[in-house]
């Protein structure tokens, strides 16, 4: 490894690069590489040639014509189109049914077309829509007409519907049904009275995988009433392949996930955040150019996202106004812009600053494209070198894929050179440029400059600089390759191996010449590959997009030419352009470390003692008493939902005993996990709003679920056959521990009976009696659905219960239905359950009503995030300037981290419940642990940072006695709770009350509440304190900009509350009322005495513990609530004393 460093030192002397022969050889090698890549590109990559004779406009024109001829859809409609690939079928064929060549043969055949044009006809506010499919050659390939469920229609017998479906398919669409066998049929009576029939056909021969008799070509015909409403081709992929593919992909995802963990912890946190922090203390940070470049790159990503708007209409929910869909895209774009701006700026700032200090011989990045520097031979050489390296990169990649596919047998999915969707966007050239520019700048800064420059500085500080650089050299190569491992490829490490050589090349060039050549190379390389479809297209007008790509990929060249004409000649780089010429404008010793002045009025402090008059204090106390009365009068002190009577451990014991009593004997390989289920869902909201409180209460525990335990039995042992691991048992226990049901999930290939419809019905009917005590003769069967498995037939029967449904009449006529479903696997009843069928119209109505509210909540939700982010940045800057309390940061970060770790460990049972049996447990454990650690530690450190900032950034304040502070803080807290409780109660209720059962699923339920309380207490206190301090500064201690400050506080408080409201009425009443109350509390008290805030928050959270004390919703809830009260009192006293001590301390300054 030391030889690498010596080689780099040799190249740095630039002996060869100054000679023309070097550039001539370099040019010839680059041209040769490009010619090699062009010559063997088609042999190296698994490309497919499509008979693409239909373009987007032709597909939409043909779809419009067919819809008009056949009366499909609504008379007026909008169109969207996309060129899509059935990637699941592709992966199955290429991995298990003959490889890439077999997939190419499938494309040439007539049995199935994985590539199709999909055209959507839709209309705002209409459920009725049509999807039409065409082959790449333009042949009609199927359609699906979605009818509203309440649309009336004919009631045909199964025989009549089958005859109609086959006649239309044969006579009108030329389907040769003689090549198929009917394997499935089902019928369903829709709420509008229409009966829909579905018939599934399968080709006996050929099969996709003839050797193991798997992979069947299927055809589906649907009769909606008395018309054909669907004709679709598909491939039935074996379940065992899906399981194997998940297992296979798990390795790819795990490699990429580990790389992302390293990126976040070492590159972003270690290099960009901590590294920038130390550089900031030495005044080595130049942040403005990094911010400008970050904004520019983020804006390009946002524009590229908006550029995809035409394709987004394929997923548009017609229940929403079209304007809402556009607004959703815009809000998503704004979110993308904010996230990318922060990430890009942080990465660019860290990479440039670290490089400037670590490598004095590099050119300064922020001066490279200034006219004086850009016209230098150094910049010209680095730029041209970046372009010439493109040929070597292309040759390597083509050669690598040629070897691994031809000699090693590695797999990469087949691709088409041209995807017509690239032309569906507004500006086809923009996507390739935006993505490539982001990758070129960001990936080279973060994955190359940060680790290498950081290692150089660490080596300088601790010794053995070359060893540090060599270690970082190896690390960056592995992390960069592993970060791209989640691409579909096999073996899982294929992309890692592929990118090691390019990573080493990029890193070597960076170490010698800096960021410019590697950014240029990365940018141009990505543009070439991403924009390639534009250059193989012969669509009319494509020349403009091709020209734009060429012009923009040569931007570095245009900059050089402009600089050359501006300066008049090429010349050596000026000494001032190198990193060694840069020095901090202010020496570290001169950096100001005093707390900034806050008060602008010298008389303000003298007047503060008289600000809170006696009348104001009595007013606050009186409002507190009123708040207590409102809370007591309007609070929820009756629990309509039964409490859990057993905990998680007892549920596991009960489930084991239940299985044993049912003669179900599971071996040692079966693992049991448990989860509590229950909560307010769409069904509860529908019954509550349409039927009212009493109806909802009466329907609980029959058609509406009460709290329950679900104990899952599954096998994760890798020695057990993967398909056998698909079998699971789910034991559902009621809140009191009695058995509700046992669900048996069987592997698809498991043997079983092949019952006829009547035989299956004879099995299902007794289940209705045994399970629900319902007479089958009193129920209406509305559907019988058959699914053919390889070795059995599965049936699903659904019944309508008129007699026991309590919603009989509503103003809008949407009453829903009580339904029972019984599922059979062979002759075994594997599941049976009751539910309320929510009308389709009501679902759409709810989505429409919530669409604007959700967008408003999303937009408002960005404000607290931005404020918190500003607090993080300000804390880091303040720390570097000495205006920060390190002891507070350490105490808070340790406490919150311990709380987080214990919370994650205590809730691990819920995490385990969702583990997949087809993926290795180790991988899933690593995913869950890594995600929770990053999220929890980030939140803990972030809150601790803000707390350390607030410790030193408070204005001098007068002191209250402990009794006065306690009474005023408690009074404000009582008033806040009373007001919000009253406003919530008076607002329209859209959902029933449901207690908090989250703690029951933990290992130690009695500590779940205290842990949650500690997290909420610190989050609320720190966030509100940051808001108050920020308002103090903005208004100069309430001396200036009061109106703007008031508006800002009100909006921010509404934003904080918005996530918990479910209607505009509550957003206005609860959010607005609470915000105005917070403003009044700030004006009267909090701007003078921050020590009141912890008391207020403690009071609010203490009142939250009254419900679990009264309800005792699960074992351990009541003692947990009592323990929470004790914790709140101790925390409040500790923090209040700390703040009051600081107030006394700084008031003497």
Q: What is the pLDDT of residue 1060?
A: 86
Q: How far apart are alpha carbons 525 and 742 in whole angstroms?
A: 56
Q: How far apart are alpha carbons 724 and 44 in whole angstroms?
A: 38
Backbone angles phi, psi at 571, to 5 degrees: -155, 160
Q: What is the pLDDT of residue 606?
A: 38
* pLDDT over threshold 60, residue 1118: yes
The mean pLDDT value for 352-365 works out to 95
Sign, CA dihedral 602-603-606-611, equals: negative
Q: What is the pLDDT of residue 533?
A: 87
| pLDDT band, very low/low/confident/very high, at 1104 (cuts 50, 70, 90) | very high
Q: What is the pLDDT of residue 952?
A: 61
> 536 versus 483: which is more confidently predicted?
483
Biggest CA–CA distance in the chain, Å, is: 98
Sign, CA dihedral 545-546-547-551, equals: positive
* pLDDT over threshold 90, residue 885: no
* pLDDT over threshold 80, residue 1145: no
Q: What residues contact 672, with CB distance under 8 A and at least 6 apart?
A: 652, 655, 656, 711, 712, 713
The mean pLDDT value for 689-704 works out to 93
Give which of 72, 222, 232 is closest to 161, Cα–Cα.
222
Q: How far apart are alpha carbons 1125 and 1119 in whole angstroms?
A: 10
Q: What is the pLDDT of residue 754?
A: 95
Q: What is the pLDDT of residue 408?
A: 84
* CB-CB neighbours of 341 under 10 Å: 19
The mean pLDDT value for 538-554 works out to 90
pLDDT in tens, 994-1052: 999 999 999 999 999 999 999 999 999 999 999 999 998 889 888 889 999 999 999 99
* pLDDT over threshold 90, residue 489: no
Global pTM reads 0.90
The percentage of the chain sitting over the pLDDT mark of 90, rounded to a whole number, equals 75
Q: What is the pLDDT of residue 7?
A: 52
| pLDDT band, very low/low/confident/very high, at 953 (cuts 50, 70, 90) | low
The mean pLDDT value for 74-92 works out to 94
> 957 versus 261: which is more confidently predicted?
261
Backbone angles phi, psi at 155, to 5 degrees: -120, 95
* pLDDT over threshold 80, residue 15: no
Ranges of each domain in the chain? 2-44+243-584, 48-237, 613-636+861-1147, 666-838
Q: What is the pLDDT of residue 717?
A: 92
438-442, 825-829, 1098-1102, 1141-1145: which range is least confident on average?
1141-1145
pLDDT in tens, 183-239: 999 999 999 999 999 999 999 988 887 766 788 999 999 999 999 999 999 999 999
The mean pLDDT value for 776-800 works out to 95
Q: What is the pLDDT of residue 2?
A: 44
Instruction: Give kind and range of the element (H or E) at residue 795.
Output: strand 793-800
| pLDDT band, very low/low/confident/very high, at 1090 (cuts 50, 70, 90) | confident
* pLDDT over threshold 70, residue 958: no
pLDDT in tens, 290-308: 999 999 999 999 999 999 9
* pLDDT over threshold 90, residue 420: no
Sign, CA dihedral 360-364-365-369, equals: negative
Average pLDDT for the chain = 90
Q: How far apart are alpha carbons 691 and 684 in whole angstroms?
A: 10
pLDDT in tens, 232-281: 999 999 999 999 999 999 999 999 999 999 999 999 999 999 999 999 88
Instruction: Give kind and range of the element (H or E) at residue 783.
Output: strand 780-788
Q: How far apart are alpha carbons 658 and 655 in whole angstroms?
A: 5
Q: How far apart are alpha carbons 945 and 869 in whole angstroms?
A: 11
Question: For the residues of 683-705, what is the DSSP string, one character each?
Answer: HHHHHHHHH-HHHHHHHBTTTBP
Task: Return the bridge partners of 197, or none.
Answer: 187, 223
Contact 376, 571 (CB under 8 A): yes
| pLDDT band, very low/low/confident/very high, at 908 (cuts 50, 70, 90) | very high
Q: How far apart are alpha carbons 1131 and 1126 in whole angstroms?
A: 9
Give which of 1045, 1013, 1051 is closest to 1029, Cα–Cα.
1045
pLDDT in tens, 94-126: 999 888 889 988 998 889 999 999 999 999 999
The mean pLDDT value for 539-559 works out to 92
Question: For the residues of 403-461, what is the DSSP string, one character each?
Answer: HHHHTS--B---EES--GGGGSSS-HHHHHHHHHHHIIIIIHIIIIIHHHHHHHHHHHH
Task: Return the bridge partners of 743, or none.
Answer: 730
| pLDDT band, very low/low/confident/very high, at 593 (cuts 50, 70, 90) | very low
pLDDT in tens, 612-646: 667 778 899 999 999 999 999 999 988 899 999 99
| pLDDT band, very low/low/confident/very high, at 74 (cuts 50, 70, 90) | very high
Q: Coil, strand, or helix at residue 613?
A: coil
Question: For the residues of 156-179, what is the DSSP string, one character each?
Answer: --HHHHHHHHHHHHHHTT---GGG
Q: What is the pLDDT of residue 186?
A: 95
The mean pLDDT value for 322-339 works out to 93
| Residues across the chain | 1149
Q: How far apart are alpha carbons 453 and 443 in whole angstroms?
A: 14
CA distances from 78 to 81, 129, 426 (A): 10, 10, 17
* pLDDT over threshold 80, residue 4: no
Strand 195-202 relative to strand 181-189, pairing: antiparallel
* pLDDT over threshold 50, residue 590: no
């Amino acid at each position: 490894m030391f030889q690498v460093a010596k080689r780099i030192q040799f190249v740095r002397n630039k002996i060869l690069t100054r000679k023309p022969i070097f550039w001539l050889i370099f040019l010839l090698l680059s041209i040769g590489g490009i010619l090699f890549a062009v010559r063997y590109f088609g042999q190296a990559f698994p490309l497919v040639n499509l008979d693409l004779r239909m373009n987007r406009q032709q597909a939409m024109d043909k779809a419009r014509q067919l819809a008009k001829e056949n009366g499909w859809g609504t008379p007026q409609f909008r169109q969207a189109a996309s060129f899509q690939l059935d990637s699941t079928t592709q992966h199955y064929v290429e991995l298990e049914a003959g490889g890439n060549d077999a997939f190419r043969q499938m494309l040439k055949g007539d049995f199935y077309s994985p590539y199709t044009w999909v055209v959507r006809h839709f209309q705002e506010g209409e459920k009725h829509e049509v999807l039409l499919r065409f082959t790449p050659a333009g042949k009609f390939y199927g359609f699906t007409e979605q009818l509203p469920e309440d649309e009336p229609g004919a009631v045909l017998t199964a025989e009549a519907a089958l005859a109609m479906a086959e006649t239309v398919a044969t006579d009108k669409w030329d389907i040769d049904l003689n090549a198929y066998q009917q394997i499935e049929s089902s019928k369903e009576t829709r709420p509008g009275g229409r009966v829909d029939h579905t018939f599934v056909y399968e080709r006996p021969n050929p099969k996709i995988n003839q050797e193991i008799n798997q992979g069947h070509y299927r055809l589906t015909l649907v009769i909606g009433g008395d018309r054909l409403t669907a004709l679709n081709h598909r491939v039935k992929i074996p379940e065992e392949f899906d399981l194997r593919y998940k297992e296979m992909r798990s390795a790819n995802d795990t490699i990429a996930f580990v790389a992302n963990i390293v990126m976040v912890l070492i590159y972003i946190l270690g290099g960009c955040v901590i590294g920038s922090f130390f550089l900031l203390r030495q005044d080595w940070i130049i942040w403005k150019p990094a911010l400008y470049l970050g904004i520019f790159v983020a804006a390009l990503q946002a524009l590229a996202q908006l550029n995809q708007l035409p394709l987004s209409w394929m997923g548009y929910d017609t229940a929403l106004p079209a304007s809402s869909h556009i607004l959703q895209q815009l809000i998503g774009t704004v979110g993308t812009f904010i996230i990318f701006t922060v990430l890009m700026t942080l990465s660019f700032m860290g990479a440039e600053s670290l490089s400037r200090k670590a490598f004095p011989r590099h050119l300064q990045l922020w001066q490279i494209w200034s006219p004086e520097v850009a016209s230098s031979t150094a910049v010209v050489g680095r730029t041209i070198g970046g372009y010439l390296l493109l040929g070597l990169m292309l040759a390597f990649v083509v050669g690598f894929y040629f070897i691994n596919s031809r000699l090693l047998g590695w797999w990469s999915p087949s691709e088409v050179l041209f995807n017509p969707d690239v032309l569906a966007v507004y500006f086809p050239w923009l996507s390739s440029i935006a993505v490539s520019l982001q990758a070129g700048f960001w990936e080279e800064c973060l994955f190359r400059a940060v680790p290498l420059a950081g290692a150089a500085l660490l080596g300088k500080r601790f010794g053995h600089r070359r060893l540090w650089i060599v270690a970082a050299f190896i690390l960056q190569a592995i992390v960069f390759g592993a970060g791209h491992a989640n691409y579909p490829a096999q073996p899982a490490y294929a992309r890692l191996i592929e990118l090691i050589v390019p990573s080493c090349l990029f890193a070597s060039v960076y170490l010698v010449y800096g960021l410019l050549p590697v950014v240029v190379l990365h940018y141009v390389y990505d543009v070439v590959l991403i924009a390639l479809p534009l250059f193989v297209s012969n669509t009319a007008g494509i020349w403009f997009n091709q020209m734009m790509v060429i012009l923009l990929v040569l931007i570095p060249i245009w900059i050089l030419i402009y600089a050359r004409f501006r300066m008049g000649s090429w010349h050596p780089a000026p000494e001032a352009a190198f990193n060694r010429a840069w020095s901090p404008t202010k020496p570290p010793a001169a950096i100001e470390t005093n707390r900034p002045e806050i008060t602008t009025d010298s008389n303000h402090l003298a007047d503060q003692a008289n600000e809170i008059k006696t009348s104001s204090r009595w007013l606050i106390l009186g409002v507190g008493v009123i708040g207590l009365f409102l809370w007591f009068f309007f609070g929820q002190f009756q629990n309509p939902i039964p409490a859990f009577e057993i905990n998680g451990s007892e549920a596991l014991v009960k489930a084991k005993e239940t299985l044993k009593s049912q003669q179900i004997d599971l071996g040692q390989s079966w693992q049991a996990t448990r989860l509590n289920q229950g909560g307010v869902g769409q069904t509860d909201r529908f019954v509550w709003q349409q039927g009212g409180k009493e109806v909802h209460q009466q329907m609980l525990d029959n058609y509406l679920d009460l709290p329950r335990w679900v104990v899952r039995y599954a096998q994760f042992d890798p020695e057990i056959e993967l398909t056998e691991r698909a079998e699971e048992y789910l034991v559902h226990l009621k809140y009191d521990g009695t058995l509700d049901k046992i669900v048996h999930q069987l592997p698809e290939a498991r043997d079983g009976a092949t019952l006829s419809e009547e035989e299956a019905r004879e099995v299902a009917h007794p289940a209705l009696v045994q399970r629900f005590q319902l007479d089958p003769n009193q129920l209406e069967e509305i559907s019988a659905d058959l699914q053919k498995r390889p070795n059995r037939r599965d049936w699903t029967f659904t019944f309508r219960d008129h007699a026991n449904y309590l919603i009989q009449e509503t103003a809008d006529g949407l009453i829903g239905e009580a339904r029972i479903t019984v599922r059979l696997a062979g002759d075994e009843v594997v599941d049976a359950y009751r539910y309320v069928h929510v009308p389709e119209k009501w679902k759409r109505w709810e989505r429409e009503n919530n669409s604007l509210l959700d967008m408003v909540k999303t937009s408002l939700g960005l404000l607290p995030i931005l404020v918190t982010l500003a607090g993080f940045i300000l804390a880091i800057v303040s720390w570097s300037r000495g205006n920060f309390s390190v002891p507070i940061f350490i105490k808070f970060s340790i406490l919150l981290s311990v709380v987080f770790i214990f919370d994650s460990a205590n809730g691990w049972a819920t995490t385990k419940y969702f583990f997949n049996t087809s993926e290795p447990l180790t991988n899933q454990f690593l995913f869950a642990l890594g995600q929770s650690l990053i999220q929890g530690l980030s939140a803990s450190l972030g809150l601790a940072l803000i707390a350390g900032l607030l410790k030193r950034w408070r204005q001098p304040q007068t002191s209250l006695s402990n009794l006065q502070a306690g009474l005023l803080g408690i009074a404000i807290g009582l008033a806040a709770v009373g007001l919000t409780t009253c406003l919530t109660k008076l607002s329209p209720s859209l959902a029933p009350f449901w207690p908090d059962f989250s703690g029951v699923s933990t290992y130690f339920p009695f500590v779940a509440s205290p842990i949650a309380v500690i997290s909420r207490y610190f989050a609320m206190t720190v966030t509100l304190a940051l808001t108050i301090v920020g308002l103090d500064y903005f208004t100069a201690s309430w001396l200036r900009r009061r109106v703007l400050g008031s508006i800002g506080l009100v909006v921010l408080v509404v934003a904080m509350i918005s996530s918990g409201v479910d209607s505009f009425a509550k957003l206005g009443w609860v959010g607005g009322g609470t915000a105005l109350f917070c403003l009044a509390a700030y004006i009267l008290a909090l701007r003078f005495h921050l020590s009141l805030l912890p008391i207020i928050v403690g009071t609010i959270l203490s009142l939250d513990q009254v419900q679990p004390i009264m309800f005792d919703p699960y074992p351990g809830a009541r003692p947990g609530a009592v323990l929470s009260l004790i914790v709140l009192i101790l925390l409040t006293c500790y923090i209040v004393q700390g703040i009051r001590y600081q107030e006394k301390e700084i008031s003497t300054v």
